Amino acid sequence: MGIYSRHIFPWLMNRAMSGDNFTNIRRSLLADVQGMTLEIGFGTGLNLPHYPSSIERITTVDVNPGMGPLAGKQAEQSPIQVDWRVLDSESLPMDDETFDSVVSTWTLCSIPNVQGAIGEIYRVLKPDGRFFFVEHGLSNEPDVQKWQRRLNPVQKIIGDGCHLTRDIAALIRLGGFRFVELERMYMDKVPRIGGYLYRGIAARSPATGGSVAKEPSNS
């Protein structure tokens, strides 16, 4: 992991994603999180102030140790006990069917083996658990898609592996999930190429067994 990823990107990301428009989305998404909770891609801990008061402890994973200083400051200010682990989400050490809730916010865009990560979310989620997510990705407008594909190589560099062209809904569905809620929308005050959001709650589909099919080509 290079100097940019470990020492510069965490501060840039924290600043860029601390605005009120992001905060409102986080607060709304996390309102119904309950029970034993896992957050993948914890980043700098920006979700932490928005969990319900019933959440006393969460397990978090992030592949970038450079997030630690900022995440630690968030944890110090929170009543929630944080079990923070430097891990990638593609191979989790947790037992099957451990968590009542799994949370992912602006994370699936950057995981190299996103199929593997979604499969792991399915595996560690209890049969009646819920996967809470908000992710940016491929727009439903052809003109926006055109620019997303053009700028995707640049975005992967400045966004530390972030993709603009992933069809998040298709990937989650292919990972064996069904949607309890799914909303697609453009985010306020964010350019459309990076502001098309997939926000929702998903549950395991027992018939699929969590198998992961081929990833859509817009990856």
Give the count of beta carbons closer than 10 Å to the beta carbon of residue 139: 23
Per-residue pLDDT tens digits of the chain, which is 219 residues long: 789 999 999 999 999 999 999 999 999 999 999 999 999 999 999 999 999 999 999 999 999 999 999 999 999 999 999 999 999 999 999 999 999 999 999 999 999 999 999 999 999 999 999 999 999 999 999 999 999 999 999 999 999 999 999 999 999 999 999 999 999 999 999 999 999 999 999 999 876 554 444 445 555
Q: What is the pLDDT of residues 61-103, one digit of tens each?
A: 999 999 999 999 999 999 999 999 999 999 999 999 999 999 9
Domain ranges of the chain: 3-204
Query: Which of 98, 92, 97, 95 has the alpha carbon at shortest distance from 120?
Result: 92
For residue 47, with 0-12 CB atoms within 10 Å meaning exposed, 13-18 middle and 19 or more buried, which class applies? buried
Structure confidence at residue 57 (pLDDT): 97
CATH superfamily name and code, 3-204: Vaccinia Virus protein VP39 (3.40.50.150)
